[in-house]
Structure 1
Amino acid sequence: MSTSVIDSKLNKEAFKLAGIEMKFFIPMTIVVVGAMYMGALPKGMLGAFPLLMIMGAILNEIGNRTPIVKDYFGGGPIVAIFGAAAFISYGVIPESTAAIITSFMKGEGFLNFYIAALITGSILGMSRDLLIKASLRYLPVIVGGVACAILLTGVMGSVLGYGFTQAVFYIAVPIMGGGMGAGAVPLAQIFGDAMQKDPAELLSLMVPAVALGNAVAIVMGGLLNKLGKKRSELSGEGKLLKGAEVEVETEEEFIPLTAEVLGKGLLFATSFFIFGSVLAKFIALHPYALMILSVAAAKALGVIPREYEQCAAQWFGFIMKNFTPALLVGIGVAYTSLDAVISAFTPTYLILILTTLIGAVVGCAVVGHLFGFYAIEGAITAGLCMANMGGTGDVAVLSAANRMSLMPFAQISSRIGGAFMLILTTFLIRVFL
């Protein structure tokens, strides 16, 4: 065997973080972390980006390898957020560095930059036919689950003395919001603007609910699978619609990833974000909600050539792959108070989280039955996949439920359902506040 072949195999087996071999990653980490403690870390994105990416890669890897945490609590994303928050609470990260990261996340708009790519790319990247079909038949089931979860949690919150509004806004809505990046984070921004409160304070209340909601959703997926085996009339054994085969559209092959494609996607994403901000000057809705509506309308009407839609989707894929762990560390530093998180863990809080998941399951099962869906499959896809932590949560829930064939519908819940929650929240705020 030639030396080049042996070297090639060794390179493939080399352990990597952020896609980089340790012989390069470790020296870069030493330089960046050393600069942080020496007070030599540059301000702005030049200092924040490498530090967040390095910390994110390390904490994400730890979370994805930690038993129980990786299977039930979201793995890497949870460790990235809480690990970074702990670093701040215990003084591991100097105050000067925390200020640089906080400014990058808030003042310099990294969070909005990520959300713009997320919303534009995830919606434009979907099949137009699937989006329209989902709106006509699948979305009412999601709405039924969300309504039941919110109402039941609010009533339970009143009974337990937690408060109807507080239970809805801080527990039910974040859990049903589609995870961290697409759910809790923008929700905290929306709530903060409406309540004149610091989004960091609100996010500290939401993060535990999202994490525990994800764990409960996975467990419930397994329990619903067992229920389906005992009550066969409730289960389609992986088939969603009664009397018909599940119609699943295969994902089309995206255009090749090039620097020009990413540039086009960046421009579409940021332009849609600005358009939402402009509309907010005339319409009393949050810019995120207006951005979602405008992207969905453009997609449904087919006004954007498929080439450009794919550019936006490729840009989102690039951002999600490379910057998600970094974003989560930034959330932990700039938006998460560990003291507030710890104080939130009370018996009442845990009961309300469980109530939210039960409400989602019951609501989707009942409404799904009315729309011709099997109760078990409707509850899993439109209910539990709304309450988990996005893509990784979808995989975990469907694996536990032994229904991986329903992934396209789970993705609708995570993508469109999460966007729907942001829009719904703006209306709930006007009703209750």
Structure 2
Amino acid sequence: MQMNSVPDEDQKKNIIQRFMGLNIGIVPMPLYLLLLVTYVLLTVTKQMPNDMIGAIGIMTLFSFMLEEIGKHIPILNSLGGKVLVVTFLPSYLVYMNWLPSSTTKVVTDFMNNNNFLAVFIALLIVGSISAMNRKTLIKASTRIIVVLLICEVVGPVIGMGVGSLLGLSAYKSYFFIVAPIMAGGVGEGALPLSLGYAAIISMGQQNIFAQILPCVMLGSLVAVVEAGILRQIGVKKPHLTGNGRLVEGDNDDELGSLSSKSDTANISKMLVSGILAITLYLLGVWANSVIHLPAPIVLLIVVMVAKMLGWIPDSVQEGGKSLYSLTVKGISPLLLFGVGVAMTPWKSLVTVFTNIPMLITIFITVTAIVVAAFFSAKFLGMYPVDTAIAVSCCSGQGGTGALAILAAGDRMNLMPFAQVAVRLGGAITVTLSIFLMRIFA
């Protein structure tokens, strides 16, 4: 009996060692278990600190766990499953009151009061653009605007056509379904759209906002799923994707020689790139008070111009690559969970599912945008998969939607171009919609 027990004990020891050797996301299992125990103790004793450390600890615990769940769900894992789970499952848990109230409050307060999304976008834009090939940036910037303008025509035409076939008027289809989807999110899209409508028609702004918000939410969800599908198309047909590059033929990486010197991130260079991102964002905040241009757009324009003119030193470019990796691997999962808890009302999503004509119109509109971007990209010498993922962000939930869409498509380095689609596309849609409302109301 004793001789047989030795292998059993060794087997148990090996199982425990293998388990403790696992990672939850990027977090080693022993550290994750310590974080879990600490979270439970603080929650049970009602001592969870309502500050940045408490929020980041909670978001780390849940986001990496939900990512692991999403990666292991069959079929869903190939459609951006980890993003869907990390973003939309927390929304459902909040709706059902299944998350501890202290957890919801800490995360919501942090997301609403600290502008964490803006920090993420600033770091990602500077990191990705500074590490990008300069010639590629010049070519891609001009061409993606052409693709975006094509989609600004195709999306509304198809959306109104489908809505009319399903018994919705062209007026209802465009102003209350298609335009909200393409308006650039909630704060800079649906909100000004509802204010503009309310000034023209005899309907309260809050009622208008309540009608169009579900379309924004579901449009973003559809775009996330389709980004996952596009990623799979790229895997099966490699000639259709640049794996994060938009323009065909630019295979050289001007930072290749820099990155090959060492696999270790240069902390000082990365910090300089981060300080550059923060400085330019603050400059954008000031510029917004003068020229009323959103801070992320000011940041985007300044960095893109500096890159195109070759003004960004090699040291900052190398730091940008490290900054980009840190942002994508370490911050994006946390931010997605925070978006799900604080900025994704589950009730709004459910509202649309009960209206089949509206549901179909939303799906077809987003699909039309994706298909138009996919095929027009090929004619412009761009990679269809990457272009379609970037441009589909114009039908997302603003910056939060762009984050989820790019994460589902595994193309986070396209954030600068996604910002062009969101901001420029949204501005065009809001302006045009309010102008047309004055004519047809």
Aligned amino acid, residue 427 of structure 2:
T
- Give 2:391's match in structure 1, choosing from 366, 386, 389: 386
Unmatched 5+ stretches in structure 1: 1-6, 175-186, 229-235, 396-409
Corresponding residue number in structure 2 for 1:91: 97
Aligned amino acid, residue 163 of structure 1:
S
Contact kept? 1:123, 1:416, Cα under 8 Å: no
Which is worse superposed, 312-321 or 63-72?
312-321
Contact kept? 1:121, 1:314, Cα under 8 Å: yes
Is 2:251 aligned against 1:248?
A: yes
CA distance in 2, matches of 1:239, 1:46: 39
Corresponding residue number in structure 2 for 1:25: 32
Corresponding residue number in structure 2 for 1:277: 285
Pick closer, same or farther for the CA change 1:285–1:50 going to 2, 3 Å: same
Is 2:223 aligned against 1:213?
A: yes
Is 2:188 aligned against 1:190?
A: yes
Give the number of aligned pairs. Answer: 382
State the 1:63 CA deviation.
0.7
Aligned amino acid, residue 167 of structure 1:
I
CA distance in 2, matches of 1:67, 1:289: 38
Pick closer, same or farther for the CA change 1:380–1:97 going to 2, 3 Å: closer
Corresponding residue number in structure 1 for 2:417: 416
Corresponding residue number in structure 1 for 2:9: none
Corresponding residue number in structure 2 for 1:152: 158
Corresponding residue number in structure 2 for 1:50: 57
Contact kept? 2:177, 2:215, Cα under 8 Å: no
Corresponding residue number in structure 2 for 1:3: none
CA distance in 2, matches of 1:211, 1:130: 30
Q: Residue deviations 1:195-236, cap 9 Å, x none? A: 5789x987765343233234345657889999x9xxxxxxx9
Pick closer, same or farther for the CA change 1:154–1:274 going to 2, 3 Å: farther
Contact kept? 1:153, 1:168, Cα under 8 Å: yes
Contact kept? 2:24, 2:65, Cα under 8 Å: yes
State the 1:257 CA deviation.
1.0
Q: Report % sequence identity.
A: 19
Q: How does 1:52-201 map to 2 (within 5 A)?
A: 52-72=59-79, 74-137=80-143, 139-154=145-160, 156-157=162-163, 160-161=168-169, 162-172=172-182, 187-191=185-189, 194=192, 195=194
State the 1:325 CA deviation.
1.4
- Give 1:343's match in structure 2, choosing from 351, 357, 371: 351
Contact kept? 1:146, 1:360, Cα under 8 Å: no
CA distance in 1, matches of 2:241, 2:278: 39
Q: Residue deviations 1:26-54, cap 9 Å, x none? A: 12212113312321011210211111111
Corresponding residue number in structure 2 for 1:354: 364
Contact kept? 1:361, 1:383, Cα under 8 Å: yes
Pick closer, same or farther for the CA change 1:145–1:424 going to 2, 3 Å: closer
Contact kept? 1:257, 1:314, Cα under 8 Å: yes
TM (norm. structure 2) is 0.74
Pick closer, same or farther for the CA change 1:42–1:223 going to 2, 3 Å: closer
CA distance in 2, matches of 1:382, 1:87: 34
Pick closer, same or farther for the CA change 1:163–1:37 going to 2, 3 Å: farther
CA distance in 2, matches of 1:89, 1:148: 35
Contact kept? 1:145, 1:364, Cα under 8 Å: no
Aligned amino acid, residue 75 of structure 1:
G
Pick closer, same or farther for the CA change 1:112–1:56 going to 2, 3 Å: same
CA distance in 1, matches of 2:412, 2:67: 22
Pick closer, same or farther for the CA change 1:122–1:158 going to 2, 3 Å: farther
Pick closer, same or farther for the CA change 1:246–1:91 going to 2, 3 Å: same
Which is worse superposed, 115-124 or 48-57?
115-124
State the 1:92 CA deviation.
2.4
Which is worse superposed, 280-289 or 133-142?
133-142
Contact kept? 1:167, 1:352, Cα under 8 Å: yes
CA distance in 1, matches of 2:50, 2:227: 41
Pick closer, same or farther for the CA change 1:65–1:170 going to 2, 3 Å: farther
Is 2:331 aligned against 1:330?
A: no
TM (norm. structure 1) is 0.75
Contact kept? 2:124, 2:415, Cα under 8 Å: no
Corresponding residue number in structure 2 for 1:293: 301
State the 1:172 CA deviation.
4.2
**Secondary structure at 2:364 match in 1:** helix
Pick closer, same or farther for the CA change 1:171–1:191 going to 2, 3 Å: closer
**Secondary structure at 1:282 match in 2:** helix
Query: Which has the larger Rg?
Result: 2
State the 1:158 CA deviation.
6.3
Q: Residue deviations 1:277-330, cap 9 Å, x none? A: 111111132222222222212222222213213323422321221121111111
Is 2:433 aligned against 1:432?
A: yes
State the 1:394 CA deviation.
4.0
Aligned amino acid, residue 249 of structure 2:
V
CA distance in 1, matches of 2:114, 2:383: 41
Contact kept? 1:289, 1:423, Cα under 8 Å: no
RMSD between superposed Cα atoms in Å: 3.7
